[in-house]
A and B are shown apart, each in its own frame.
Chain A
Amino acid sequence: MNVNNYMSLQFISKSENEAFARITVAAFVSQLDPKMNELTDIKTVVSEAVTNSIIHGYENKPDGMISISAKIEEDTVYITVEDEGLGIKDIEEAKQPLYTSKPELERSGMGFTIMENFMDKVEVKSILGKGTKLTMMKRIESKKALYN
Chain B
Amino acid sequence: MSLQLQISNQGEALIVRLQGELDHHTSELLKTKMENAIEQEGSNHIVLVLQDLSFMDSSGLGVILGRYKQITNKGGKMVVCNVSPSIYRLFEMSGLFKILTIEEDVEQALSSLGVVS
Using a CB–CB distance below 8 Å, which chain A residues touch chain B? 15-16, 18-19, 22-23, 37, 40, 43-44, 47-48, 51, 54-55, 97-98, 105-111, 113-114, 117
Contact = CB atoms under 8 A, between A and B. Distances in A.
Nearest to A51: B24
Contacts of B25: 15-16, 18-19
B61 A110 contact: yes
A23 B25 CA distance: 14
B54 to A, nearest CB: 9
Interface of B: 1, 21, 23-25, 27-28, 31, 55, 57-59, 61-63, 65-66, 85-86, 90, 93-95
The 7 closest A-B pairs by CB, nearest first: A15-B25, A108-B61, A108-B62, A110-B58, A19-B1, A106-B62, A106-B66
30 contacts: A15-B23, A15-B24, A15-B25, A16-B25, A19-B1, A19-B21, A37-B86, A40-B55, A43-B55, A44-B55, A47-B23, A47-B24, A48-B58, A51-B24, A51-B57, A51-B58, A51-B59, A54-B24, A97-B93, A97-B94, A106-B65, A107-B59, A108-B58, A108-B59, A108-B61, A110-B61, A110-B93, A111-B57, A111-B58, A114-B90
B65 to A, nearest CB: 6
Contacts of B23: 15, 18-19, 47, 51
Given A18-B25, A107-B62, 16 more contacts: A18-B24, A37-B85, A40-B86, A47-B23, A51-B57, A54-B24, A97-B94, A106-B63, A108-B58, A108-B62, A108-B65, A110-B58, A110-B90, A113-B93, A114-B57, A114-B58
Contacts of B58: 48, 51, 107-111, 114
A32 to B, nearest CB: 19
B94 A44 contact: no
A114 B62 contact: no
A40 to B, nearest CB: 5
A105 B28 CA distance: 10
A7 B58 CA distance: 26
Contacts of A51: 23-24, 57-59
A106 B86 CA distance: 21
A109 B65 CA distance: 12
Nearest to B54: A40
Given A54-B24, A106-B63, A106-B65, A48 B57 contact: yes
